[in-house]
């Protein structure tokens, strides 16, 4: 009996420790932090009180707030009231109207840890996302393009105008191409293919101002196109608008945090904007993914 009793006590202790280890490993301490979405002129577009998962380094935002942020390359996401921008953050989950992001910005966590923790709240464990980021990106991208409700006839007409426009752009008939694209846009205002071709026309005709504006429109319609971010970066740099270049590449990194070319261009933008600590953090990240690009970025930073 004594041996049996000892066995059950030992078993109870082991089960208790196992539960403690399993749940303790994922135990979260949660709080709330206020954020502001600001436009290029510094106007506040919207506010959000987001949930911070301190141990996992994640923040849960409403899907609407993040969609509003990535829909304009010149918007910025900042802490309220410090106005400190988030810099190293990326998408990890989309679920039930919420978006979970990972934040690797050490400065943010120092600010968050030193702030008054007035908001010890119960963690919404159902929102602690553990899916692969690629699945989250596919979820967000799929939901993004569901908003277009265009009938089949209009789609066929748009494709017809695009066919003509491609030929006209190729042969240098830019005015005719623009007229066809305007007709296509009247049928499908937010079509990314139409807007990207408008970008091409403005680039070929040397209209730098409208080129940049058309890139903003194209990225609003399709913020998942990496090449559009690179094009916008080039346009912003040509106008010495380094702050806008950095904000744009931050969104590209948010969506593609493991793409070496995205990290490289974000590092270039950060360096030009004078944010050397961010540029060096991106350089460290890039060294693990693409040593050649990392050397190029290192040379640029120096």
pLDDT in tens, 20-64: 333 333 455 788 889 999 998 989 999 999 988 888 889 999 999
What string of H, E and C letters represents the secondary structure of the chain? CHHHHHHHHHHHHHHHHHHHHHHHHCCCCEEEEEEEEECCCCCEEEEEEEEEECCCCEEEEEHHHHHHHHCCCCCEEEECCCCCECCCEEEEEEECCEEEEEECCHHHHHHHHHCCCCCCECCCHHHCCCCCHHHHHHHHHHHHHHHCCCCHHHHHHHHHHHHHHHHHHHCCCHHHHHHHHHHHHHHCCCCHHHHHHHHHHHHHCCCHHHHHHHHHHHHHHCCCCHHHHHHHHHHHHHCCCHHHHHHHHHHHHHHCCCCHHHHHHHHHHHHHCCCHHHHHHHHHHHHCCCHHHHHHHHHHHC
Whether residue 193 is found in the same domain as residue 217: yes
Residue 19 falls within a domain, yes or no?
A: no
User: Where a domain ends, among 119, 146, 173?
Assistant: 146
Total domain count for the chain? 3
Residue 9 falls within a domain, yes or no?
A: no
Residue 124: the pLDDT is 63
Contact 190, 148 (CB under 8 A): yes
User: Where a domain ends, among 174, 196, 222?
Assistant: 222
Q: Show pLDDT as tens, one digit a residue, over the chain (302 residues).
A: 445 555 443 444 343 433 333 333 345 578 888 999 999 898 999 999 998 888 888 999 999 999 999 999 999 999 888 888 999 999 999 888 899 999 998 888 877 766 654 456 666 654 445 555 668 898 898 888 876 677 888 889 999 999 999 999 999 999 999 999 999 989 988 888 999 999 999 999 988 889 999 999 999 999 999 999 999 999 999 999 999 999 999 999 999 999 999 999 999 999 999 999 999 999 999 999 999 999 999 999 98
Whether residue 66 is found in the same domain as residue 140: yes
Whether residue 34 is found in the same domain as residue 139: yes
Residue 266 falls within a domain, yes or no?
A: yes
Whether residue 215 is found in the same domain as residue 269: no
- Per DSSP, the residues of 171-205 read TT-HHHHHHHHHHHHHH-TT-HHHHHHHHHHHHHT
Q: What is the pLDDT of residues 152-173, one digit of tens each?
A: 888 899 999 999 999 999 999 9
User: Where a domain ends, among 222, 242, 263?
Assistant: 222
Whether residue 195 is found in the same domain as residue 272: no
Residue 4 falls within a domain, yes or no?
A: no
Whether residue 202 is found in the same domain as residue 245: no
CA geometry: angle 203, 252, 272, nearest 5 deg: 70
Find the domain containing 302 and state its range. Answer: 230-302
Report the CATH number that the domain containing residue 196 is assigned in CATH: 1.25.40.10
Beta-bridge mates of residue 85: 78
For the entire predicted model, the pTM comes to 0.83
Whether residue 214 is found in the same domain as residue 238: no
Residue 22 falls within a domain, yes or no?
A: no
């Amino acid at each position: 009996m004594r041996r049996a009793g000892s066995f059950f006590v030992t078993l109870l202790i082991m089960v208790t420790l196992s539960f403690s280890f399993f749940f303790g490993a994922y135990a979260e301490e949660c709080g709330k932090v206020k954020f502001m979405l600001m436009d290029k002129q510094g106007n506040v577009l919207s506010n959000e009180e987001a949930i911070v998962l301190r141990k996992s380094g994640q923040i849960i935002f409403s899907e609407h707030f993040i969609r509003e942020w990535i829909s304009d390359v010149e918007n910025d996401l900042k802490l309220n009231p410090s106005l400190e921008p988030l810099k190293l953050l990326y998408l990890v989950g989309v679920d039930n109207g919420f978006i979970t992001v990972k934040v690797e910005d050490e400065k943010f966590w120092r600010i968050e840890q030193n702030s008054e923790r007035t908001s010890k709240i119960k963690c919404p464990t159902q929102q602690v996302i553990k899916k692969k980021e690629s699945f989250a990106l596919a979820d967000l991208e799929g939901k993004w393009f569901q908003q277009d409700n265009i009938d089949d006839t209009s789609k066929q007409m748009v494709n017809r105008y695009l066919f003509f426009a491609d030929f006209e752009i190729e042969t240098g008939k830019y005015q005719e191409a623009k007229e066809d694209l305007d007709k296509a846009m009247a049928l499908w205002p937010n079509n990314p293919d139409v807007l990207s071709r408008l970008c091409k026309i403005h680039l070929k005709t040397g209209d730098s101002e409208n080129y940049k504006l058309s890139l903003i429109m194209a990225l609003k319609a399709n913020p998942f196109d990496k090449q559009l971010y690179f094009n916008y970066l080039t346009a912003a740099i040509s106008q010495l608008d380094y702050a806008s270049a950095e904000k744009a590449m931050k969104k590209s990194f948010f969506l593609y945090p493991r793409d070496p070319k995205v990290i490289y261009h974000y590092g270039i933008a950060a360096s030009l904007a004078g944010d050397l600590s961010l540029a060096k953090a991106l350089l460290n990240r890039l060294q693990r993914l693409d040593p050649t690009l990392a050397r190029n970025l290192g040379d640029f930073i120096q």
